[in-house]
Amino acid sequence: MELCTFRLAGRLFGTEIGLVKEVVEHVNVAEVPHASPDISGIVNIRGKLHLVVDLRRIFGFPPAETRTDVRLVLFKNAVGESMGVQVDALGDVISIDPRLIEDRRAGEIADGVSQFDERRKARQGIALGVARTGSGLMVLLAPTGILPALREQVGDEIRH
């Protein structure tokens, strides 16, 4: 299994390379008024608008320091929408044996992620599990679960 890797809040994440459209560095994200706090904004890449999701908020990590230029992992339309995620640092493409993936339920994954119980429900469709790599643990991201989890989270907030 080939994965595109990136860092977020000091943790290593990876996502299946076949779902990644491209990685983009030094781009400005435009804020969307009245959007869910889980949305960083939108970005225009070669005339196409992409929604930018804030994984830090979804996983309950502290906010990143404000930057005018950000790094994005943009996903293919197979994910469901023109969207991407803002990351702290872009990594490499690596290969792992799928048998090394642990905890496919991923309700509680990686050092520190599980301490934010209020976000657990949303995370369950986003994280596939954890894989051990030479540099430690890597959280496997399921980009197809991001937007459904956001819709469910917003629905829960509206009902309360």
Q: Distance of CA 43 to CAs 5, 10, 106, 120, 146, Å? A: 21, 24, 30, 28, 17
| pLDDT at residue 109, rounded to an integer | 47
pTM of the model: 0.81
Query: What is the C-alpha to C-alpha distance for residues 150 and 38, in angstroms, rounded to an integer?
Result: 7
Q: Distance of CA 21 to CAs 52, 60, 75, 90, Å? A: 14, 26, 5, 14
Query: What is the C-alpha to C-alpha distance for residues 145 and 62, in angstroms, rounded to an integer?
Result: 22
Query: What is the C-alpha to C-alpha distance for residues 109 and 129, in angstroms, rounded to an integer?
Result: 7
| pLDDT at residue 116, rounded to an integer | 43
pLDDT tens, position by position, 83-140: 999 999 999 999 998 888 886 544 444 444 444 444 454 456 788 889 888 878 899 9
- Is 54 or 158 the better-scoring residue by pLDDT? 54
CA 37 to chain centre: 14
What rounded mean pLDDT belongs to the chain? 80
- Is 111 or 62 the better-scoring residue by pLDDT? 62
- Give exposure, 105-138, as e/b (b: 16+ Cβ within 10 Å): ebeebbeebbeeeebeebbbbbbbbbbeeeeeeb
| pLDDT at residue 50, rounded to an integer | 93
By C-alpha distance, which of 36, 64, 34, 66 is closest to 52? Answer: 36
Query: What is the C-alpha to C-alpha distance for residues 66 and 80, in angstroms, rounded to an integer?
Result: 28
| pLDDT at residue 146, rounded to an integer | 87
| β partners of residue 90 | 6
Could you tell me the domains of the chain?
2-159 (2.40.50.180)
| pLDDT at residue 37, rounded to an integer | 86
pLDDT tens, position by position, 36-53: 888 989 999 999 999 999
